[in-house]
Amino acid sequence: IKCDRKSPCTNCTHLGEQCIHKNLDNRKKRHPHSYVQALESQLATMESFLMKLKDSPTNERLKMLESVTFADHLSFNGRENNTSDLPKEDSIDFPISLDIRGPNTITFYGPTNIYGSSLRPSSVDAPFHVKQHPMFSPAITYCLKLFFKWQYTQFMYINREAFLLDYYHHYHDGRYCSEHLLYAMCALGSRMAPEAEVVNSSDKYYRLSWDTLMEYGLGRPHITSVQCLLCLGFYDIGMGNNSLGWLLSGLAFRMGQDLGFQLDPRKWFMNEIPVISAEDAAVRSRIYWGSYVADVFISFILGRPTTLKKSDTSIPGSVNLPDFDGIDEFKCDLGPAAKPATLFVMLLLLVDLSHIADAILFDVFSPSDFPYGINARLQNLGKYNLELMKWYLKLPDDVRWKKSDLKIHGQNPDMLAVCLYYYLIRICLNRPFLARKEITSNDMTSKVICLDSIEDISQLLKSYRDAFGFESASLFMVYAAIVSCSVLIMLKNSSIISERLDIEEKLRFFIMVLQKSSKSWKLAAKSLTLIETSLKDESNPTADESSALPNLNSRIVPEEFPIFNYLDETIKSEFIDDQSNLAIDNEEYRSFFGGPPVFMTSASHNNLWKDTNIPF
């Protein structure tokens, strides 16, 4: 019955029907474009599966049907965009407790804590004072300049402007600058120095930072202690000490959660007075999201679960904080032709990439025991290749790059970090599926995606080399070179002659990158030793290994191509000197190559990955 919008409706009265007005009119409901794209992607995936099922032998169809999953494969962006269509309910404000130990230390207790709202937890510690505002010196200032100039994009859990105001003027009363944080930043910054004596001082700064932190106390959580532990963790990872770096970064994230840095502090009041000012809330947001990127990055490169979850977070996204004048010495000189890109935009892009990387760890490389065969994993592989493509296509116009833009972005350390993170995720996602022939996105197989990413990485790093050299290489650059080497070695002997020549040329370039950057990061030097070992091992394959796509421990490389021949003549002598002074346990670093970035038990590893046709 057509309604004439009267009450009661004239047509209903004429026909003797009850007039009922429906509040929900689905004819006017419009879904976001991303939701429609996700539906189209899911439909294409199911159509492809049905075609394969139709062409498969009868005895294999049951196995294929058992492996398929009917979970929601829609883009998480699509699901989030449609939350506004749901009826809104009244929110519940759960009670929390804050233990305010001082102006700079607030400990958070959630709604399930044993004290509840009737008891108020409080610290019974005696007053304890440690010098939190260090005196600055030319040597320390020089290391800080190197830190912010070359490494800042990877360490944006430190707000440069807030730190420098506290460092020079004690503006924030020590909330964002402390002795232990200062020394930790100097340990990282000194690794970028061209002077050997400054580089060699990094261990001294590391020990000073740790000793000062222990004097202050891990039991007294402070935001600068969180930042300090993260810096020390990254330092150890850069030196090749993965276990210690993982431990220290985990301490940082736990201490941050103790401070409640993942929650919105604008809702915290004591006697109707805000506990934290609007300015400090904005800085805390920058610190949290920078820490979130660090957590996902460390977990992804080591193939381990993350600590900070988006679902546990209520703190708003980072806002564009003011960029002060007069700190040009703490920035990289990009020249007049460089594209301007604010660090705020860089952080937003890194956060979005980290959301995708975190989802990849769970959906593609999950160790769960429920039926999750290779077909389901291949579906998720296509899904996240599509997500990465959507991320790229949605980049702002002043940031999105084409092949012709790689030279420009390679000379901008901030933009370079974003590009390398994107390619690092693409390669680690697709590397375990190199032997598969399925097309996952944009008519590209996993092999093509990896080689395309490696080509772009090489162009970016060549541009950076021409502008700055590799002595100031970031960890993003080192890991990009390592993962590129791992793929090239895997593909080297399964390729045709024309491809092999190109692979060897690129492998030679990335080995040079690692050699040059080994002066800053021992991780690069230790990885070179692994590459050398793997190339030597390939000369004696077993019968079983020769029939499969070779992995790190089973590759065939002619004796005329040892790692020494991949180095330029000018650095061969340096390489010999470095390697003669380097003694490592090779097994500790074999996780850099071969298998996917996953956290698996040995049993589930064999069961879940046996169908990929790649021996790990």
pLDDT of residue 195: 94
Inform me whether the pLDDT recorded for 539 exceeds 90: no
* Contact predicate 167/132, CB 8 Å: no
pLDDT of residue 281: 86
- Of 443, 534, 424, 540, nearest in space to 490 by CA: 534
Q: What does the pLDDT look like over 1-42, one tens digit per residue? A: 667 767 778 777 777 777 776 655 555 556 665 566 667 667
pLDDT of residue 484: 94
Inform me whether the pLDDT recorded for 600 exceeds 60: no
**Confidence label for 478 from pLDDT (cuts 50, 70 and 90):** very high
Task: Return the ∠ at Cα 208 (arms to 203 and 210), rounded to 5°.
Answer: 95
Work out whether strand 273-274 and strand 105-109 pair parallel, antiparallel, or are unpaired.
Answer: unpaired
Angle between helices 569-580 and 497-517 (to 10 degrees): 60
Please give the residue that has the higher pLDDT: either 54 or 182: 182
Query: Which residues are CB-contacts of 155 (< 8 A; sequence separation ≥ 6)?
Result: 147, 188, 230, 231, 234, 290, 294
Backbone conformation region of residue 611, classed left if phi is above 0, alpha if psi is from -120 to 50, else beta: alpha
Work out whether strand 105-109 and strand 97-102 pair parallel, antiparallel, or are unpaired.
Answer: antiparallel
Angle between helices 138-150 and 179-190 (to 10 degrees): 70
Mean pLDDT, the chain, rounded, equals: 76
- Of 432, 417, 524, 606, nearest in space to 409 by CA: 417
Report d(CA 598, CA 386) in Å as an integer.
20
pLDDT of residue 369: 53
- The proportion of the chain whose per-residue pLDDT surpasses 90, expressed as a percent, equals 33
In this prediction, residues 77-81 reach a mean pLDDT of 40
In this prediction, residues 448-456 reach a mean pLDDT of 93
Token pair belonging to 486: 């791992």
Query: Which residues are CB-contacts of 205 (< 8 A; sequence separation ≥ 6)?
Result: 143, 183, 184, 186, 187, 190
Angle between helices 446-468 and 497-517 (to 10 degrees): 40
Q: What does the pLDDT look like over 298-315, one tens digit per residue? A: 999 998 889 999 888 888
Q: What does the pLDDT look like over 394-433, one tens digit per residue? A: 888 888 888 888 888 888 888 999 999 999 999 999 998 8
**Confidence label for 78 from pLDDT (cuts 50, 70 and 90):** very low
- Total-model pTM: 0.72
Inform me whether the pLDDT recorded for 155 exceeds 60: yes
Inform me whether the pLDDT recorded for 579 exceeds 60: no
Report d(CA 499, CA 609) in Å as an integer.
27
Least confident window among 16-25, 205-214, 475-484, 595-604: 595-604
Inform me whether the pLDDT recorded for 118 exceeds 70: no
Report d(CA 438, CA 435) in Å as an integer.
9
pLDDT of residue 464: 93
**Confidence label for 94 from pLDDT (cuts 50, 70 and 90):** low
- Of 517, 511, 523, 575, nearest in space to 192 by CA: 517
Q: What does the pLDDT look like over 517-531, one tens digit per residue? A: 999 999 999 999 888
Inform me whether the pLDDT recorded for 585 exceeds 90: no
β-bridge mates for residue 479, sequence order: none
In this prediction, residues 237-242 reach a mean pLDDT of 93
Inform me whether the pLDDT recorded for 213 exceeds 70: yes
